[in-house]
Amino acid sequence: MSVSQNPSSGFEVIFSTLQNAEDAESTLNVLNILDELLSAGTDHRIHYMISKGGSEALLSALMKNGSRSSPDYTILLPILYLVAKVGQKDCHIGKKAEEAGAVLLTLNLLKNNIQHAGRAEAYLNVIQVFAGSVSTSKHIGSNQGLDVVYNLIPRYTIKNRQTINIFTEICWECLIESPATKSFNSDLGKNFTHFPGKAEDIQSEWTISAPPLLRQLTNPTLLVHRSGHPLLHSLLCFPQTYLLNKCQESLIESSVQLMRSCLPKTRLPLTSDQSAYLFPLPGRQHDDLDMVATSDESNGDDDDDDDDKVEDDYQEAQSKDYDNDLETDLNTLCLRPATDRPKELLLQYSRLCPELSHDFLEDLDLNSQESSSSSSSDDETGPEKKTPEFLSQTEKGTSDQTKSAPCPLKVKDFYSHTGINTRSGGTKTGETREEANSSLTDDEQKNKNEGNGKCYNSPMTDLIDIHNHDIPYHEPSMYRAAAMKTKSVPGFSTLAFPDFWGQVPPPGNEPMAPRKPNIQRQKVLEDIQRFLNTDIINQVVFDLEDECLQFPPAEPDSLRFFSSFECGNLRKAIRVRRYEYDLILNADANCSQHTQWFYFEVSNMVPDVPYRFNIINCEKSNSQFNYGMQPVLYSVRDALNGKPQWCRSGTEICYFRNHFCPVRGRLRTTFYTLTFTITFKYSEDVCYLAYHYPYTYSALRAHLRLLNRSVDPSKVFFREQVLCPTLAGNACPFVTITACPPSKSYTDIHQLRNRPCIVLSSRVHPGESNASWVMKGTLEFLCSHDPIAQALRETFVFKIIPMLNPDGVINGMNRCDLNRDDLNRQWCKPDPVLCPTIYHTKGFLSYLSSIRRTPLVFCDYHGHSRKKNVFLYGCSVKETLWQSGSTFDTAALKENPGYRTIAKALDRIAPAFSFNSCNYLVEKSRSATARIVVWKELGVLRSYTMESTFNGFDQGIYKGLQTRTRELEEMGMKFCHSLLSLTVDTRALYGRSLINHMNPGHNVLDHKSHNCFEDDEPPCVEEIEYSMFPGLKGKDLNWT
């Protein structure tokens, strides 16, 4: 692959022409060309222009034309427009403008053109961009910039509200600490205490100019010190009085945002930011490596220099996504790196290809029952059966505690404080493993250990006997047997009822939740009132680190919480008001970050009373909870009455930035609140709340056992093996699925040995439980009697790692493994001790490549928290170079377009799939992910990440609905359908007999996603942020 690269870019030629042009016509032509280029391109093009000196060239043109005694505004106005447009994307525009002298020049030009609204607005736009840097805003303020801008108010309050909008933004950005400004702020603060009385005439100029006055209260001490309480009371009173008055919208929003920004930073009520779960890592001493020790004693009163640095870092981080993240080096994209290990080490993975060594000739002579026994003989191949060579790579650093016997398990005593289970006669349902085992005969014990035993002479028997066995591929006894072997960091001894009992999707559709107008504002005001009121209860009712508070005495009117079970996550619960609770999530084990996933039990509720729950340490800057998503709820009482369902639940849901900060270190860390209200139906109930439908490691192990038991071994070759042990000593399952040869003929055996491989993986991020439900749909479909499944088994060999991060899933983590690393960023050089599942998955893929069986498809199932629908990320050299604005001539590149085949097939057959949301860009920040490493190092053309929404869909037949487990499992099935497009005889995909199987109930062939909404969500209807610093954004004011 070879292309020619131009010695200099077109932008550099244009900039040179702009700086050297002497006549107006040439300058205007260059400006028009720049305008067209930037209007037609994306942000990537703007950032590319900046990297080539575009900002400096425009500032130079501004100085050249603006310094003349009589500026030519036919040239100057287009320059100002381009400076404002490009400056919004340049995080260093303020400093560049200061160095060029453009800041003071623009202020002087504004001062001389106050009479001209159009010119004044153009200058204000540029000053607004310059003021984005704290140091530049300080420079503006120290040169009487605020006085110049403030003089615009009486001229433009009524007719030119857009100009006042810009003025407001500039005033707020100019956060200077000079004595003059402090006095200015103080006078405004004194006058503003009478503001509500002056706002009675909504048409008055005072009402129009009040938002700029609000913005001048930049000193938080005016609000948070004792002397400032009257002002805070006035502000709080104002929005409550006019909350529903649309005419006062801009004033209300300004005052609310001002109060949010001026609340003092409050540390989370924890003893440590570190996770409550600590696991000793092999070869490492446990310490707080990810904490910033130097900031332990720091407070929230940082100086401007620190603010400026934080702001620059923030803007640079934002711009990197567009400017530098796409890979533009052709050699990096195309050259295949050397393997990360010698070929001799790859031979150990031959055991993971049992279809190549299995004696199918002997199987064909045996009856199906003997075949079944043979096929499952090494299903439980565990660490103890591995070769010494294999053990040497994974178990050298395994701690002794991971080899201990699993803790006794019991089902939670759901009824000791309620009367739900009338059939149990009030008997406690919990039992230890030893109690249950002691009552079994030898034969019964053997069956139970295999997951088939139901002869329990114990209280558990009553509970299992009333179980509804209509739940496909689920048996409580088998789940419990699998859970006994599961090893957790805290040593869980309790099963969560939904996981033990099972679930079925609710029968009806679940629409996205409507958002009440101003609901976030209402919740924010309630939170602000906490600072002023003294009637807050502030009672800790659950603490994962305090045994006394894990099972506290039941109080008549207080909820009870619990989360010490597999996949559970709730660290602390604090009762704030009678029916309101602050909840704090547990960080990923061994670190202090990654809080999003939650799953906990709640009981002792009062029916028909709205309870407000606030999860106050979320980390993502936005969430689908702002766009119609609801948490899921499971009722034990409903389950025992025949409705074992996780249902979307919750009202008054919103997600916004709060004023909390870490206990120590990282004071700049931003936390967000997820708040929702739940009204429980029953008084005597136990309910579970979760971020998404939970899917545990034990559920996977039980599911695989049931699948193995369900297939016909004479037709389906199903083999479960162990890829490797995890850090905690749990087995990472590895599954092979294909069709058995129909006869003893050499042709049939040879065809099986040469079937191409499809490699699928899932759940590398433990909080993405939706990925496991998609994988469940894939596994069940591939083991079914469906003719398409049979055709796929006869065509391909499926290699499946359904859970790449068992330890993270078990311990209720969101992003990382016990090694505190994101496993999906370790694929370049995975550590065999600290990242065993990634190390051996990559080793297996390398082994396939070494024996010339490179996978035809690799797909890693994920969940996406910021988008709707289901979509694919792939890899393409041409699309990456084109999108990045590279100077390479992509027309000279030849690339196999087959990477789009599966997405096109899914677009035809999968109603949940959005073709428009797919992209095939290779990003530097994701160079160590499975998708890119498998594509680049192993040469897999169709290497994908398949992202599934946590929320729902905005297109097709599911438009406006939240996803259920049914749609997720269906997506796993549809992905299998799409693989038929890769067969030699592609007519099979469109054969009418197969279409009938692929099209139950609706015409999927007519489904298209090309006309769906934009990929990214629009701005939230209410402002999530309140700026990096105390203040507002210009868009916060609505002047219409």
> Are 413 and 435 a contacting pair, CB within 8 Å?
no
Alpha carbon distance 783, 889 (integer Å): 47
Instruction: Tell me the HSE value of 1001 on the side-chain side, using a 13 A CA sphere.
Output: 3
- Smallest CA-to-CA distance from 559 within 614, 604, 611, 612 is with 604
Residue 817, C-beta contacts closer than 8 angstroms, at least 6 positions apart: 726, 727, 805, 807, 808, 823, 835
Q: Which residues pair with 913 in a beta bridge?
A: 870
Instruction: Report which of 606, 615, 705, 602 is spatially closest to residue 660, judged by C-alpha positions.
Output: 615
The H or E element spanning position 612 is strand 610-618
Alpha-carbon distance of 927 to 944, in angstroms, equals 13
Q: If you compute the radius of gyration of the chain from its CA atoms, what whole number of angstroms results?
A: 32
Torsion of CA 42, 43, 48, 54, to 10 degrees: 110
Q: How far is CA 748 from CA 208, 417, 712, 743, in A?
A: 83, 63, 18, 6
Task: Look up residue 885 and give its amino acid.
Answer: G
Q: What are phi and psi of 528, to 5 degrees?
A: -65, -35
Contact 3, 886 (CB under 8 A): no
- Nearest Cα to Cα of residue 949 among 774, 811, 781: 774
CA 26, 30, 31, 37: dihedral to nearest 10 degrees?
160
Give, in degrees to the nearest 5, the angle at Cα 924 between 922 and 925.
Answer: 110
Distance in angstroms (rounded) separating the CA atoms of residues 631 and 653: 9
**Cα–Cα dist 170/172, whole Å:** 5
φ and ψ of 101, to 5 deg:
80, 10
The two counts, helices (H) then strands (E), for the chain are: 43, 22
Catalytic residue (choose from 173, 947, 967, 1022): 947
Per DSSP, the three-state class of 8 is coil
What's the per-residue H, E or C state across 501-556? HCCCCCCCCCECCCCCCCHHHHHHHHHHHHHHCCCCCCEEEEECCCHHHCCCCCCC
Tokens of 57: 């060239």
Tell me which DSSP letter residue 326 carries.
B
- Kindly state the tokens that stand for 946: 């398949």
Residue 314: Cβ-neighbour burial (10 angstroms; 0-12, 13-18, 19+): middle
Per-residue 3-state assignment (H helix, E strand, C coil) for 908-952 = HHCCCECHHHCECCCEHHHCCCHHHHHHHHHCCCEEEEEEEECCE
Q: Is 947 annotated as catalytic?
A: yes
Contact status, residue 500 vs residue 460, Cβ threshold 8 Å: no
Phi, psi angles (nearest 5°) of residue 18: -60, -45
Q: How many CB atoms lie within 10 A of CB 180?
A: 13
CA dihedral 182, 187, 188, 193 (to 10 degrees): 130
The DSSP result for 755-801, as a single string, is PPEEEEEE-SSTT-HHHHHHHHHHHHHHTS--HHHHHHHHH-EEEEE
**What are residue 103's phi and psi, to 5 degrees?**
-65, -55
C-alpha 179: how far from its chain's center? 45
DSSP run (H or E) holding 733: strand 731-739
Q: What are the catalytic residues?
A: 947
